[in-house]
Amino acid sequence: MKIAVTGATGFVGRHLAAALAVNGDVVVPISRGNRGPTATPVNVTDADALTAAFSGCDVVVHLAGINFEREQSFIDAHVRGTRSVVGAAKRAGVPRVVMLSFLGARPDCGSPYHETKWEAEEIVRHSGLAYTIVKAGMIVGDGDHGLDSLARSIATIPMFATLPRTIVAPVAVDDVVRILDAAAHGRLDSCTVAAVGPDAMSLARMAWIVAGSLDRPLVVFATPLVVHRAIARVGEHIMRVPLVSRAQLTMLRENIVEPATNVDPLPAWLLPSVRLDRNFVRSNAPRGRFHLSDLRCTPQRWDLGARSVA
């Protein structure tokens, strides 16, 4: 099959493109900006360029999205982008679209991230094309933002400020890729499914697992929501990738364990099974500390040593 992947140089996109290629599929990687040696640099709001890129494809897997607003707004990235992707797929004669959404996406909840993700889901559902929507929880693995930031934070300062009573069920990126792969090959048509990990745990528990994998001591303490909001707001302004964005903070406040809307059941053979334990973290999380290169105001030449073993 010939499969177009938007957001192909992002975290999930890289893993999916690699898995599809191994299985013998022809991958058309599409990315906003020239972020990879083989990716086609197309903004998802550029309908004409997308139509050309989708030509001859059997399916489009739409992964492009953002979790904080900087160059793009949530409306541009999620709503206008998805509308453009669907329209381009129709013009190019692509019969199927697969979309990666968020577990808590829903309407009228007061969160622009959640609401725009939901609106994007509705665009896909009412597109007239065969579709699958995968509502994923906290996705972890090699190159993610959450596990990456947590591990590097603990390596830098052995303290973790947690949100009380927050529960997550981390799902491995390889499990998400299996679901997306099945959807791309027409095994989950006309349905919306959830992808959550097999183990629910507190944020504190997740931090202790990461600290143990790094052989680091750790002090965990709860802090008020207002402190986390301040950290998120400052981080979005001064860091290339913030420790946590305001949208991610909203996700964590409401727990990331169950879908916020009705979903269809996953077949047993596609249920996520990879557990987040010390071995998983050792294999997938970086061991470096945060460096000056993580600040937006620092030239990229400071990147030397940023990922060195602490």
* Phi and psi angles of residue 120, each rounded to the nearest 5 degrees, phi first: -65, -40
Q: At residue 171, does pLDDT exceed 90?
A: yes
Q: Is the dihedral of CA 192, 197, 201, 206 positive or negative?
A: negative
Going by pLDDT thresholds of 50, 70 and 90, the confidence category of residue 300 is low
Cβ–Cβ < 8 Å for 184, 1: yes
* Model pLDDT for residues 214-229, shown as the tens digit of each residue: 999 999 999 988 998 8
The CATH code for residues 2-139+171-196+257-270 is: 3.40.50.720
Going by pLDDT thresholds of 50, 70 and 90, the confidence category of residue 306 is very low
Cβ–Cβ < 8 Å for 3, 20: yes
Domain residue ranges of the chain, discontinuous segments joined by +: 2-139+171-196+257-270
Q: What is the pLDDT of residue 82?
A: 97
Mean pLDDT along residues 157-176: 94
Per-residue CA distances from 97 to 66, 125, 180 (Å): 19, 10, 11
Going by pLDDT thresholds of 50, 70 and 90, the confidence category of residue 308 is very low
Q: How far apart are CA 177 and CA 289, in angstroms?
A: 28
Going by pLDDT thresholds of 50, 70 and 90, the confidence category of residue 115 is very high
DSSP state of 51: H
Nearest Cα residue to 49 out of 35, 70, 33, 66: 33
Distance of CA 306 to the CA centre of its chain: 23
Q: What is the CA radius of gyration of the chain?
A: 19
Q: At residue 302, does pLDDT exceed 70?
A: no
> CA angle at residue 251 from 249 to 252, to 5 degrees?
65
Torsion of CA 244, 250, 253, 254, to 10 degrees: -140
Q: What is the pLDDT of residue 225?
A: 86
Q: What is the pLDDT of residue 71?
A: 82
Model-level pTM? 0.91
Pairing of strands 167-168, 96-102: unpaired
Q: Which two tokens stand for residue 109?
A: 């909840």
Q: What is the pLDDT of residue 310?
A: 27
* Model pLDDT for residues 9-68, shown as the tens digit of each residue: 999 999 999 999 999 999 999 997 655 556 778 888 899 999 999 999 999 999 999 998
Q: At residue 117, does pLDDT exceed 90?
A: yes
Instruction: Find all residues with CB under 8 Å of 51, minimum gap 6, and list them.
Output: 88, 91, 92
Q: Which two tokens stand for residue 245?
A: 């964005």
Q: What is the pLDDT of residue 295?
A: 85
Q: What is the pLDDT of residue 111?
A: 94
Three-class secondary structure of residue 142 per DSSP = coil
Q: What is the pLDDT of residue 165?
A: 84
Nearest Cα residue to 232 out of 249, 217, 207: 249
Q: What is the pLDDT of residue 33?
A: 62
Q: What is the pLDDT of residue 38?
A: 63
* Model pLDDT for residues 195-253, shown as the tens digit of each residue: 999 999 999 999 999 999 999 999 999 998 899 889 999 998 898 888 888 898 888 88
* Model pLDDT for residues 128-155, shown as the tens digit of each residue: 999 999 999 999 999 998 899 999 999 9
Going by pLDDT thresholds of 50, 70 and 90, the confidence category of residue 307 is very low
